């Protein structure tokens, strides 16, 4: 079942999410719903708070394979890279964000097994963007104050529930997460 994606301005996006303690049927349903929601929105990543669930869990599919990250952490981050990002909670907004270029992340999968992933490029960016969501941090927090002021009106429109893209099929952003 597709769930509603929260927009910037909705409180759960700003909350610190709690660790997942058990992988049960409820969690599996949540993950299934989140994948459905993410694919319908043409996103490459989606964090649980974006559907109003403040648990430390996110999904990523950059085109290679669907991945589920439960209780993720970044154990190493190196380099620096600026690239455009989008976020399903900010429909139509794209901003350049600087982040470490490479990360090593650890998490648990849906079978309860721990795994480690070494990532660069889009995957590294997506992991950092989604992990931020679990701490109530949004990608517009990582742009300059001056730039945030410039896009104030756009942010207000999004907070009012609007999309900046009238036709959501157009120009679907690969990096929306
Ligand atoms: Ni996002």
CATH 3.90.45.10 fits 11-176, yes or no: yes
Cα of 137 to ligand 1 centre, how many Å?
Answer: 9
77 CA distance to ligand 1 centroid (A)? 19
Strands of 114-120's sheet, edge to edge? 45-47, 57-60, 67-78, 102-108, 114-120
Domain regions of the chain by residue span: 11-176
Q: What is the mean pLDDT of residues 139-161?
A: 96
Average pLDDT across the chain, whole number:
94
CA of 8 to the centre of ligand 1 (A): 10
Strand residue runs (E) in 45-132: 45-47, 57-60, 67-78, 81-85, 95-99, 102-108, 114-120
Q: What is the pLDDT of residues 52-88, one digit of tens each?
A: 999 999 999 999 899 999 999 999 999 999 999 999 9
Please check whether residue 88 is in contact with residue 36, taking contact to mean a CB–CB distance below 8 angstroms: no
* Residue environment code for 24-58, b if the CB has 16+ CB neighbours within 10 A, otherwise e: eeebeebbeebeebbeebebbbbbbbbbebbbbbb
The yes-or-no answer on residue 130 being catalytic is: yes
Note the pTM of the prediction, 2 decimals: 0.92
Question: Mean of the pLDDT values across residues 4-15?
Answer: 98
Distance CA 47, CA 129 (A): 9
Q: What percent of the chain has pLDDT over 90?
A: 92
Q: Taking 70 as the threshold, does the pLDDT of residue 171 lie above it?
A: no
Residue 24 has pLDDT above 60, yes or no: yes
Give residue 2 CA to ligand 1 midpoint distance, Å. 17
What contacts 176, CB < 8 A, 6 or more positions away? 41, 42, 43, 44, 45, 86, 87, 88
Q: Exactly one of 85, 95, 130, 175 is catalytic; which is it?
A: 130
Tens-digit pLDDT profile for residues 110-140: 999 999 999 999 999 999 999 999 999 999 9
């Amino acid at each position: 079942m597709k769930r509603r994606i929260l927009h910037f301005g909705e409180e759960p996006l700003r909350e610190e999410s709690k660790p997942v303690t058990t992988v049960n049927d409820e969690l599996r349903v949540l993950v299934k719903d989140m994948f459905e929601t993410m694919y319908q929105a043409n996103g490459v990543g989606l964090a649980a708070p974006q559907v109003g669930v403040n648990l430390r869990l996110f999904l990523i599919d950059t085109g290679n394979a669907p991945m589920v990250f439960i209780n993720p952490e970044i154990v190493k981050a190196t380099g620096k890279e600026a690239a455009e990002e989008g976020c399903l909670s900010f429909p139509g907004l794209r901003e350049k964000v600087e982040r470490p270029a490479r990360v090593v992340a650890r998490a648990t999968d849906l079978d309860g097994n721990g795994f480690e992933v070494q990532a660069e490029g889009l995957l590294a960016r997506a992991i950092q963007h989604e992990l931020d969501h679990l701490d109530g941090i949004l990608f517009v927090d990582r742009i300059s104050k001056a730039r945030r002021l410039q896009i104030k009106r756009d942010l207000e429109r999004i907070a009012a529930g609007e999309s900046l893209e009238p036709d959501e099929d157009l120009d679907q952003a690969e990096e929306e997460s």
